[in-house]
Amino acid sequence: MNALLRPDAGRRTGRRHPEGPQIGELVAAASDVVAPAWPLKTFIAVNPLQGLEDRPFEGAVLEAQHLRQSERRPDAGLQAVNRELIKWCSVFFDEGQAVFAMPNRHLGLYGAFADLAPFDRRLRKAGPAADLLDSLSDSPEAAIEACLERLRVPRDGREEFLRRALAALPGWAGHVKWRQDWQEPEEAAKRPASLVDYLAVRLVLTCILWPRAAEAEDAPPSEPSFLAELPAREASYRDTLLGKLLPHAGTPEPADRPRPDAQLVFCIDVRSEPFRRRLEEQGDYETFGFAGFFGIPVRVKGYDDDRSHASCPVLLKPSHEVCERASGAEPARVRRHELGRTLLRLPNSFYRWLKYGFATPFALVELLGPWLGLRMLARTFCPSLLAAASTSLKTAVMPPVPTEPVLDGIPPDGQADFAESALRMMGLTGNLAPLVVLCGHGSTTTNNAYGSALDCGACGGNHGGMNARILASILNDGRVRTILAGRGLAIPDSTLFLGAEHDTTTDRVEVGVPAHAGDEHRSRIARLRVDLDQAASQNARDRCRSLGVEAADGPQAVRATERRRADWSEVRPEWGLARNAAFIVGPRRLTRSIDLEGRCFLHSYDWRTDPTGKYLATILTAPMVVAQWINSQYFFSALDNVAYGSGSKVTQNVTGKIGVMQGNASDLMHGLPLQSVHASDEKPYHEPLRLLTAVFAPREMIDPIIQRQEVLRKLFGNGWVQLACIEPEDGRAYRLNRDLTWAACS
């Protein structure tokens, strides 16, 4: 958890000019206006004004508004530059959608452009400045320097000029920033790209297509109206929430709590809160909240996966790689599974070969047209039936086999460290139930470019079931239990840990049963599964109501969610994290009897077991920061879905398999779709509020943490996150001011 990934600041070399900073330094300073934009396959929520978080919230909003206003001018030269840059970025960053790949991508974005641009007839015909294509420098820094001179940009205005150039297409610039600072090095090396490369290409195009760019006048700034009304709306929500929590703050924890039937640990995700409440109504269950990667920063490779992926917050660097292997299955069944996997992949490979070949698409229509037409009708009018048939066929051809994670690469002491940190951080240190279920989550949708946006953000935009199975395997290991007992964490022999996964589209929970589970445990698991299904049925009715779907009872609601999961025309399979507003850190007794309306991230924490504040510091600097990114992306996507979101799904086109554009030549849309934050074109669903963090712990424990952590001073001091403290001693609430002093809440 402490191995924070410090992203490389990108290319920082350049030719120093005696009268000013290096080009790389200018680009780095100007890049605060764009936030990294993750590709669709691992879509990560991020604050679109992330680079401006060192400024007060209101000032950052005004700055971003001003830059976007300036670059929306109906200037023909600006639009021409944007169109050409979009063309070059689309082909360079393509991940396999194009029939023919752009050559020489290994040379980097600027290198490939400089190699091919002299042969671009459109640029050749653009005017006399096209002769620049014959003398392009090999160095992107030198190209930027030459272009700035050619455009007559004054030295004291260069940083601002570059900032405006980046703000013109914040989606494409943000994707380059992700590749520069966040992409895994081995992948980035295949197609190198940095913001220096990006700006070099843009400025070359500007010299040719818009030679008077430096003379463009700024648009007059206008202050957004929402800034005036936002504090009042946030204060109203804060007072309402604290009013619900405070009556339970003084409730003492029973000294001799009876052992519950089961304890379940869910992700802090806001979608877990309503489900936890419904499950607790079914029986003697305790639920906990913890970041969905379960404190295991690893790369994972599932049994049927072709490659591994990082399954932890992007703020962390994976420390190990864990694969799955077949366990407890007959060799003949394993062979059938592997043969079936190969057979199922062959038709897909053949179809892709026909679809993306040069001449074969013509044969594809004749060969598969009738079959695909029937399939299209089935997907449209009976999606659930088709999905069930596909699942049955897959199961028949590729029979499932039980698997287990291979943890040989993590020494027992390291496994014990992960286990101890997770148990202590969530306060699960005693009175363990016979069953402890670690429940990751993911979403299942069809034909949804934004599917990963509905998965677990703590797992890097992936499903979290694998992480749950890894921690369960660690905690079931006798060697690890012995080490933990020596550290004061004794796990009863009768306690069995299980890995599970919560499908947030349907609320179905799939619980894995280890091969060594005894009859008594299996009987308990069977009863738990019944209660999980009942909780899903009840919660499905509430979810359908929020989606505007009528359901007479729970089973009908479940069928409705199943249909939404399988329907390829469904633009809103679920609401995701819409309406998120608060991050609550404290014991479950604070929130157990309250309907929080699915608006709160819930992180379990007991300040009495954390005398140094170590675990609270980790919660505030990791899970809370991820929650703030999520909150900010929903905030700005709802506020201005054109500038910060991605517009309607109806008019989106996937480009290069990396993102979406509106039409065929727009900026790379880097936020959430309209359907994720609006109930209709005119009716909003998500209420834009800055994240409220409520912590049940003494102020004298919180203050030193804030003083030590720059990220917290920035987020709290600049107003990006509102902080409230509920004092355990007197049960009163206090809010943190911008100057980091406390004031009593009314």
DSSP per-residue codes, 264-312: EEEES-TTHHHHHHHHHTTSSEEEEEE-TTTT--EEEE-TT-SS-EEES
The residue ranges of DSSP E strands in 463-516, in sequence order, are 496-503, 509-511
| Same structural domain, 363 and 431 | no
Neighbours of 159 (CB within 10 A): 17
For residues 194 and 19, the model is more confident at: 194
Q: Indicate the range of 375-384, 521-530, 605-614, 684-693 predicted with least confidence.
A: 375-384
CB 628 within 8 A of CB 634: no
201 domain residue, yes or no? yes
171 domain residue, yes or no? yes
Is residue 367's pLDDT more than 90? no
Average pLDDT over the chain reads: 91
Neighbours of 240 (CB within 10 A): 9
| Same structural domain, 155 and 240 | no
Place of tokens 């399954």: 311
693 domain residue, yes or no? yes
| Same structural domain, 372 and 408 | no
Tokens at 586, concatenated: 């404290």
667 domain residue, yes or no? no
Is residue 17's pLDDT more than 70? no
CB 88 within 8 A of CB 201: yes
| Same structural domain, 477 and 622 | yes
**Largest interatomic CA distance in the chain:** 85
- Residue 456 annotated as lining a ligand binding site: yes
pTM of the model: 0.93
Place of tokens 């309406």: 579
- Domain span at residue 285 reads 236-249+260-324+402-641+678-744
653 domain residue, yes or no? no
Amino acid at 567: D
* pLDDT at site 70: 67
- Residue 725 annotated as lining a ligand binding site: no
For residues 241 and 328, the model is more confident at: 241
Q: Indicate the range of 29-43, 245-259, 400-414, 517-531 predicted with least confidence.
A: 245-259
Q: How far apart are the first and last CA of the chain?
A: 37
Chain centroid, CA 7 distance in Å: 17
* pLDDT at site 71: 66
Tokens at 388, concatenated: 């069930």
4 domain residue, yes or no? no
- Residue 66 annotated as lining a ligand binding site: no
| Same structural domain, 242 and 380 | no
Q: Indicate the range of 127-131, 175-179, 410-414 predicted with least confidence.
A: 127-131
| Same structural domain, 302 and 372 | no
- Residue 267 annotated as lining a ligand binding site: yes
| Same structural domain, 573 and 439 | yes
* pLDDT at site 99: 76
727 domain residue, yes or no? yes
Mean pLDDT of all residues in 223-230: 88
302 domain residue, yes or no? yes
Which of 375, 397, 419 terminates a domain? The answer is 397
Confidence category of residue 20, pLDDT binned at 50, 70, 90: low
Q: Indicate the range of 187-196, 230-239, 365-374, 379-388 predicted with least confidence.
A: 365-374
Helix (H) or strand (E) holding 653: strand 652-655
Confidence category of residue 98, pLDDT binned at 50, 70, 90: confident
Which of 341, 371, 397 terminates a domain? The answer is 397
Place of tokens 């790949």: 101
Considering the chain, what percentage of its residues have pLDDT values greater than 90? 76
Which of 382, 397, 412 terminates a domain? The answer is 397
Distance CA 566, CA 463 (A): 18
Domain count within the chain: 3
Reported as a single tens digit per residue, the pLDDT across 434-457 is: 999 999 999 999 999 999 999 999
Q: Indicate the range of 308-322, 369-383, 515-529 predicted with least confidence.
A: 369-383
Helix (H) or strand (E) holding 324: strand 320-326
Helix (H) or strand (E) holding 62: helix 57-70
| Same structural domain, 288 and 421 | yes
Distance CA 14, CA 19 (A): 14
Reported as a single tens digit per residue, the pLDDT across 419-437 is: 999 999 999 998 999 999 9
| Same structural domain, 314 and 373 | no
| Same structural domain, 67 and 162 | yes
* pLDDT at site 362: 75
Tokens at 399, concatenated: 């029979």
Tokens at 458, concatenated: 């703590």
| Same structural domain, 112 and 192 | yes
Is residue 407's pLDDT more than 80? yes
Phi, psi of 385 (to 5 degrees): -65, -45
* pLDDT at site 67: 84
Confidence category of residue 115, pLDDT binned at 50, 70, 90: very high
Q: Which residues pair with 4 in a beta bridge?
A: 316
Tokens at 454, concatenated: 């509905």
| Same structural domain, 379 and 475 | no
